[in-house]
Structure 1
């Protein structure tokens, strides 16, 4: 039986079941974990090819990744702004695209070389499931778990219900952030023990923070706080505090632009309420080992009474083996495991509500962080082996636990009673095998059963629950070649007047399979980014309120047909002192969903270019004067523009003359006036203000008759953030050198 050393002296290094630990295991076991997770991550794809190309991953992440990868290949960096994505184009404020994260950028280049976005998603998400598994493995080892016990929990956690069906399938930014947290925890704890330098936990912390997901930042902060509680020595606390300061510098780079844009965004992070959406209960944890248990958690549908997949599943072996664990280990080592216990306790409480708190919403998102602590603790306990005494009593306790689990699962969804029976029988057989093989052969055959059971449970779940149906089942095309055909059909700046609800919903909140034929004419979210179509249809977590109000758009770029004055189509023709809104946006193509407006009004100068079963396409008969390929859309009548150049997405330069124009001069650009725009004429600052719909409008001084206007955009707090990140990196390097010299002296 494996004997775990105290956490303060590091993980088990020398004995496994009383035998000499070969040096090859130090590398072989984590490599085996990585390979096994990579292989198992492809099981969902075998059953459902688009498992990793679903909901937000299909509408938001993968299309934008493809677009960003193309920009990187063309040498366009840094990725600050995408004017063609309109309300979804403020890349720094959106944060979730992680444009400062080097691993993300490499993956964007990778995705841009795929011909199929579903395949690209499967590769990138498998990568981060492997990263997560390795982090769990090393963290469990750091707390004293044996290699084999650490491998069991490391392989299982990436396939827990929420992590697989939500994070990996749709909310990939959450998985990216979560995957780096155990690495940071492991490295920060080694730093507190004086085993490594500050640079290593700094790098993992920076990778976590620059993903742009606030839950990763929360995880980093909580880990630092808890480790200060665990290690009360002054030196350890000073090291951790310094580490926090260095990572905090990087956090400024990521989150200052988000906060700086809160005044114009519709998500101002001032929410505090509880509507019970995605809020688990304590009862749900009791059945977290049954692969068929579907929790009674209120989801996104207004008529939801339960989820459609095992969202609270952890691992098949945790609950059934509780009766066989040597709990005296916890009594002896609670002080060394204090960090794990505190983090687990904090996240457990947080998962129980409220549903919305500041920038954090839906407590179910915190379940995987609680499960991380549970799995580390379980690995440490499992390393001591299973108890060999009171076999009959422990067996009856296990049977009773499975019976309770079966009843709770049946009560939650009686319709799938047969699945519950199969799942309980599987767990019973696996537990019996685990106990018998451990008694005969020790920990290694036990862990082999744990791995086999993880694979079997995953296969059953994917067959029974091939997808997360609590979210929008878009069914977008994944072929890059197919998506690129939209560029020729919808040239120039395009406004789409469409709503996804008639396509994927029936009645009030009831999901249907989408009519995928409609995607030949309509797309939502960021999917047009693959084709390079300049369109107001894009996905945004931030939004831009002035433009949203002017055109009645929602977060996925659809036409808002409720709670909005007018509608998207009629508002395009709104006359303003600067001109008609459609002209100011430089619209060339308008796509109107026939389910909303069957026969749209055709203004003068426009024509019906195409009419299908789903859309009517309007196009200008003559292109607007655009003064080149940039985004100037209107000048004071009579002004002469000799050049309009856009060297980068966040820069534009206009050479102009007064011409025959009388009175004050002004220019309007087909750009959203995000905070951070500045303009100069021949080096002298001039005012930038909101024009119609929040478009960038520049008023020129009365005495200016000619010159060159330079328009630039810098995200709020960018240079403070860059300075903070650079100082943080340099400080981490200096601290590491100092620490190395002290260890060698």
Structure 2
């Protein structure tokens, strides 16, 4: 008899949870469909919209090579033949340990068109951003219609649309995972199973894009402080534990890069501001103008011609919600704190140590502000909003339009249209809130106002899509078909060096040449690939930039006699082919060096191949007098050699970059030859001694232990949480039976 009163509320609670889940699912599907439709619309207007700049010359080539290494079983943390681009783990954005990047890499190997692949991947990530945002905002108690507003708005943040989506795909990965990780963090602080947080945060960290990790770290620290201030010890401990697991994983991904940076061009600890890719407050005043373009300076000059500052048209509506209840502001403290830190970074110096381009934090600033705005608007009592606040909001909208117009007066028409859409939506919302259009219940009013916000969000970006169609970053015009990309430089033998700059002459006019990471599609083992971790001495010696372009003088450098060894640099690099591009400064073919022959002359230049090709880089290329060794085993990460004669004093030079992390047994490391070639001192070696050289990430024991603790600690936590939840459910059912 006593079970009935208990069962009825339990049934009602289950029904309520079912309704909430259904409402959330509807919001998720709706926001995802709108996001996909708008993203596809951009690709219809500009078919290569998602195949620009670094996606074209960086990401797809990396995916192709990584997929090949997984399929062939040759996965490695290092490639000597790629030289400064071959330190894959330290490079970070290769995503060697990223399950998400691995899946994309395997899909790449199954694809025939890289532009289509990039489009599918990036639209999927934009949809993921939308889904994560809906779930996040719902966790704050926002209604499903208002959650859909946020889910549609976040993938439309200007920097996401015009920089990360067309080009910087690792930035898109991390900003897409950020809302999901935030949602998981909120669940953890409430005592739920941490698997959502750990999976999404793990994917975010292993993507290798440090700006996303900075955003996540900021969020976790602010959330920890929130619980500590409120004396919520259990929640604080759970957040602290989550932060520890994520920090340990971050050590695996970023410590090798930090400890490698000393030999790279990124070895900087200073703080400077040259105005390159940072913003100021006047720029951000126009963050509600979808068609405005403000003075964010970069490669394009003073103005990008696209709304990189845009976040959402409804940001000024925050004024309508103030003053907000203290409890609401306390709940939003992590969002407010994260937004504040991101704002300071965006308007801060353009370079802080190795970190450059702080405007890359715009997606995280935008997500935090959208969460704040939508949660506040979902809780405000609209009929009680005063006329003064409506007027102030309209003035703020107009001020944003003025800020955009003032920086580029020629954009007056499109800026005016954007402001008109915002003001029309604002007027409609006021008419609904005051009952002038139609009296509505509180719930119906909230849903209707959210519908207006959705409509205005879509309307605001349609003129943007029409007028501002492409990224300010370049489309180099490279082919997207795998067959076309793979049919380049088939005549090359062994390791290959390209002299000149191929970036401006990609395979669009028949020239048989690729550039940067597109070389991974060719069977030729070209070392002129893309890296953000240039080895300083190597790059200076061969005048090579981060995308593999060189000056024409690199040809003479390759074939000049090295003063210390008497060998040519091409021999020390273990090169078998050299492609010399025809360009200004090299209008005719150079003479073939002795032991080499010209095997091809095309519209792009001249290919020289060694008469007797040599093995790929990684071996011993020179030994001083009296030092005789036999190579017994050689791999990408190391080699073993036997000393054949006693050596009192002697050195050997290998065709490997002297990356930090090499461990030598039977000899010792000495100063790198020419400042970059791994060199060993054999003093005291005796016949029969075995010399072993093995590359491990710097601080390898710390890296390995951190990785194991992170993975197994996270798994143990998830398992323990699942067991406790199961016991709690069984205990609850037992109580109801009694």
TM-score, scaled relative to structure 1: 0.86
The count of aligned residue pairs is 700
1:568 paired to 2:554: yes
* Correspondence for 1:361: 356
2:198 to 194, 197, 202: 202
After TM superposition, list the pairs within 5 Å mapping 1:497-576 onto structure 2: 497-499=499-501, 503=504, 517=508, 520-560=511-551, 567-576=553-562
* Correspondence for 2:577: 589
Q: How many angstroms does 1:116 deviate by?
A: 1.5
Q: How many angstroms does 1:612 deviate by?
A: 3.7
Aligned residues of 1:156 and 1:315 also touching (Cα < 8 A): yes
After TM superposition, list the pairs within 5 Å mapping 1:25-44 onto structure 2: 25-44=23-42
| SS of residue paired to 1:486 | coil
In the superposition, relative to structure 1, how do residues 656 and 407 fare at CA in structure 2: closer, same or farther (>3 Å)? same
1:534-593 per-residue CA deviation (whole Å, 9 max, x = no partner) reads: 2231111111123112212111111147xxxxx312211232233110112122222223
* Correspondence for 1:695: 677
1:694-739 per-residue CA deviation (whole Å, 9 max, x = no partner) reads: 2234454665445765432111123422211221233334444555
1:672 paired to 2:669: no
Q: How many angstroms does 1:127 deviate by?
A: 2.2
Aligned residues of 1:198 and 1:736 also touching (Cα < 8 A): yes
1:724 paired to 2:710: no
Aligned mates of 2:596, 2:631 — CA distance in 1? 27
Aligned residues of 1:654 and 1:708 also touching (Cα < 8 A): yes
| SS of residue paired to 2:263 | coil
* Correspondence for 1:478: 480
Q: How many angstroms does 1:330 deviate by?
A: 4.4
Structure 1 stretch displaced more, 124-133 or 154-163: 124-133
After TM superposition, list the pairs within 5 Å mapping 1:317-466 onto structure 2: 317-319=314-316, 321-322=317-318, 325-331=320-326, 333-384=328-379, 387-388=382-383, 396-397=391-392, 399-434=394-429, 440=438, 442-466=445-469
Structure 1 stretch displaced more, 327-336 or 570-579: 327-336
1:405-458 per-residue CA deviation (whole Å, 9 max, x = no partner) reads: 333332222223332333333334444455556754533343334334333433
| SS of residue paired to 1:591 | strand
Aligned residues of 1:60 and 1:539 also touching (Cα < 8 A): yes
Question: Aligned Cα RMSD in Å?
Answer: 3.2
Q: How many angstroms does 1:297 deviate by?
A: 2.0
Contiguous gaps of at least 5 residues in structure 1: 1-12, 504-513, 562-566
1:268 paired to 2:267: yes
Structure 1 stretch displaced more, 719-728 or 695-704: 695-704
Aligned residues of 1:63 and 1:117 also touching (Cα < 8 A): no
* Correspondence for 2:441: none
* Correspondence for 1:606: 596
| SS of residue paired to 2:516 | coil
2:496 to 494, 497, 500: 494
In the superposition, relative to structure 1, how do residues 222 and 390 fare at CA in structure 2: closer, same or farther (>3 Å)? closer
Aligned mates of 2:642, 2:431 — CA distance in 1? 83
* Correspondence for 1:124: 121
Structure 1 stretch displaced more, 649-658 or 160-169: 649-658
1:24 paired to 2:15: no
In the superposition, relative to structure 1, how do residues 605 and 737 fare at CA in structure 2: closer, same or farther (>3 Å)? closer
Q: Which has the higher helix share?
A: 2
| SS of residue paired to 1:617 | strand
| SS of residue paired to 1:608 | strand
| SS of residue paired to 2:693 | strand
Aligned residues of 2:27 and 2:134 also touching (Cα < 8 A): no
Aligned residues of 1:344 and 1:374 also touching (Cα < 8 A): yes
* Correspondence for 1:649: 636
Structure 1 stretch displaced more, 635-644 or 544-553: 635-644
In the superposition, relative to structure 1, how do residues 654 and 730 fare at CA in structure 2: closer, same or farther (>3 Å)? same
* Correspondence for 1:96: 93
* Correspondence for 1:217: 213
Aligned mates of 1:213, 1:629 — CA distance in 2? 29
Aligned mates of 1:488, 1:654 — CA distance in 2? 33
TM-score, scaled relative to structure 2: 0.86
Aligned mates of 1:30, 1:704 — CA distance in 2? 70
* Correspondence for 1:52: 50
Aligned mates of 2:719, 2:20 — CA distance in 1? 32
In the superposition, relative to structure 1, how do residues 174 and 49 fare at CA in structure 2: closer, same or farther (>3 Å)? same
1:227 paired to 2:223: yes
In the superposition, relative to structure 1, how do residues 478 and 639 fare at CA in structure 2: closer, same or farther (>3 Å)? farther
Structure 1 stretch displaced more, 308-317 or 635-644: 635-644
1:183-240 per-residue CA deviation (whole Å, 9 max, x = no partner) reads: 222222222222x134442333222222222212212221221112221322222222
Contiguous gaps of at least 5 residues in structure 2: 1-12, 439-443, 732-738
* Correspondence for 2:239: 240
* Correspondence for 2:7: none
* Correspondence for 2:470: 467
Aligned residues of 1:550 and 1:693 also touching (Cα < 8 A): no
Structure 1 stretch displaced more, 636-645 or 112-121: 636-645
Aligned mates of 2:61, 2:510 — CA distance in 1? 15
